[in-house]
Structure 1
């Protein structure tokens, strides 16, 4: 089981915590240790906007189709989590890791 970037305590304080934990259908799971290239695509809006963006969906699938590449996704947090992240000095994080 993977460790989440946010604690349960923080997730209980925010609206729609599921947008921050990943594990959605078609999410790619790879072992990052076995990759030649590992990077995160950052979308400049919240999860609900970014995950429905066709261009992001195409690029995510295209990159992760390769055996040597691991493409992860990062979205902007909603204002409630943004405030907590700034107060607690939590950096942006990818859904997959």
Structure 2
């Protein structure tokens, strides 16, 4: 966890290939963070690559619909609310 700039709260992140379990309405879900290296062509003859980072969300098949709708909406809503609470406020004055 890192302390966010000018805030008393923390910003949490996942390392590559880390797994985190969550429980929502008595349903266990797992988040996996992954990174995939993709080779990209280069004009100068050297090889280069890009890293694509992504999360995989898994759950029991019988809870799939609830997770895809209700849980994902919940996670997005909570993320937006946290972002709003932690944003840096700017104060403007008229001179």
Shorter-chain-normalised TM-score: which range? under 0.3
Q: Which TM-score applies when normalising by structure 1? A: 0.27
Relative contact order higher in (CA < 8 Å, ≥ 6 apart) = 1
Structure having the larger proportion of residues in strand: 2
Structure having the larger proportion of residues in helix: 1
Q: Which TM-score applies when normalising by structure 2? A: 0.28
